[in-house]
A and B are shown apart, each in its own frame.
Chain A
Amino acid sequence: MSAYVTHDFKTPRPDGSRRLPRTFMLVPILFYLSLVAGSYLSINSYVNYRESCKSRDNSKAQTAEQDGATSHIEADIANINKEKLKAEKLVQWVEGTRMIQPISVAVTRAIPPEVSLGEMSFERSVDIPAQINLSVRINSGGMEDIGRIQTAVESLKYHAYNSQQSKTGDFLDYRTILVWQQN
Chain B
Amino acid sequence: MSKALTWAAFADREPELAAHGRRLLYPFGPAVGLGFLATTRGDGGPRVHPVCPAILGGGLYVFVIGHSPKRADLARDGRYALHFFPAAKDDESFYCAGPAREVSDPRARAAAVPGFAHAVRDDEALFELRLARALHTVWERPRTPETRPIYQRWQA
- Interaction A to B: no
| Contacts from B to A (Cβ < 8 Å) | none
| Contacts from A to B (Cβ < 8 Å) | none
